[in-house]
Amino acid sequence: MVNFRFMPINYNYSSRKGKKIEYLVIHDTGNSGVGANALNHFKFFGGGNRNASAHYFVDDHEIVQIIGDSFSAWHCGDNQGYGRALNGVRNCTSIGIELCINSDGNYGKAYENLVELVKNLIAKFNVPIKNVCRHYDVSRKRCPGTFFTKNLWEKFLKDVQEPIKIKLDLSKSSPGVPAQEKALKERIDKVMENILKADKVKINLNGKNIELRGKNIQGTNYVAIRDLAEALNLQVGWNQDKKIVELRG
């Protein structure tokens, strides 16, 4: 499962000048060297003034964000070098995403991670598919270079319109979660929220009357497991690896 890491750098970004995020610009790093993964690109761009950057770097096992979405990264050549700002795409109106192509990585997996990141960003910023573009579309630079073969760009545009498979919490460093599992957790959380807001349920425990958070639904009493466990002098824990609530006496 892909991990997301937010690792902001101190260089190579500027203000969006109040502009709205309207475009997603896809690049590849152009660096096939061994070890040229997302983390090493973070180290490079965070090591000094490079006069270039991107928001996200994606490899075969993680997504690293080095510049916050609220800032402009320097990735599509505004008014410098190649910068023609075609179709209104500028650094201040776009997010730059770099696909790592290091030779010791799994390109197919990195591509899949890129697709899932773009799906999540499309949903987050409500970006229409027509505004997902290549660096080439902005500046005529041949980038992403690996997308110029076998109609890969056309395939990519189709792939990012498929349902999200991996849900990413882009607000903090965290592992991606399968979308179905995420949806189930959200439904469970909603049920628990309703329970925690519910009436008290009275129980008699060893001759002592106590009240627990809960609700009577169609003749069945539902109570918060933590409240019940604590009433029984049990410790409540969560086993992340096994995805199970653990009770200990």
pLDDT digits (tens, 9 = 90+) for 88-140: 788 999 999 999 999 999 999 999 999 999 999 999 999 999 999 999 888 88
* 153 in the same domain as 99: yes
Q: Find out whether 156 and 144 touch, Cβ atoms under 8 Å.
A: no
* Inside any domain, residue 190: no
* Inside any domain, residue 189: no
Average pLDDT, the chain: 86
* 59 in the same domain as 22: yes
* 229 in the same domain as 170: no
Between β-strands 132-134 and 56-58, what pairing exists: parallel, antiparallel or unpaired?
unpaired
Distance between CA atoms of 240 and 235, rounded to whole angstroms?
A: 16
* Inside any domain, residue 139: yes
Distance between CA atoms of 67 and 73, rounded to whole angstroms?
A: 7
DSSP 163: P
* 217 in the same domain as 99: no
* 205 in the same domain as 168: no
Percent of the chain with pLDDT over 70: 87
* 164 in the same domain as 117: yes
Query: Taking the CA atoms of the chain, what radius of gyration do you get in angstroms?
Result: 24
Tokens matching residue 86: 């075609």
Task: Report the half-sphere exposure of 93 (CA within 13 A, side-chain side).
Answer: 14
Distance between CA atoms of 211 and 172, rounded to whole angstroms?
A: 37
What is the SS3 assignment for 82? coil
- pTM, two decimals, is 0.73
* 150 in the same domain as 56: yes
* Inside any domain, residue 234: yes
* 142 in the same domain as 84: yes
Q: Find out whether 37 and 212 touch, Cβ atoms under 8 Å.
A: no
Tokens matching residue 20: 């709205």
Distance between CA atoms of 188 and 194, rounded to whole angstroms?
A: 10
* 227 in the same domain as 148: no
CATH number of the domain within which 39 lies: 3.40.80.10
b/e 177-203 (16+ beta carbons within 10 angstroms → b): eebeebeeeeeeeeeeeebeebeebeb
DSSP 129: G
Mean pLDDT calculated for residue range 9-20: 93
The one-letter amino acid at 2 = V
- pLDDT greater than 80 at residue 181: no
Q: Find out whether 37 and 92 touch, Cβ atoms under 8 Å.
A: no
Distance between CA atoms of 144 and 135, rounded to whole angstroms?
A: 7
Of residues 62 and 209, more confidently modeled: 62
- pLDDT greater than 50 at residue 79: no
Per-residue pLDDT band for 192 (boundaries 50, 70, 90) equals low
* Inside any domain, residue 187: no
Q: How many domains does the chain have?
A: 2
pLDDT digits (tens, 9 = 90+) for 58-74: 999 999 999 999 999 99
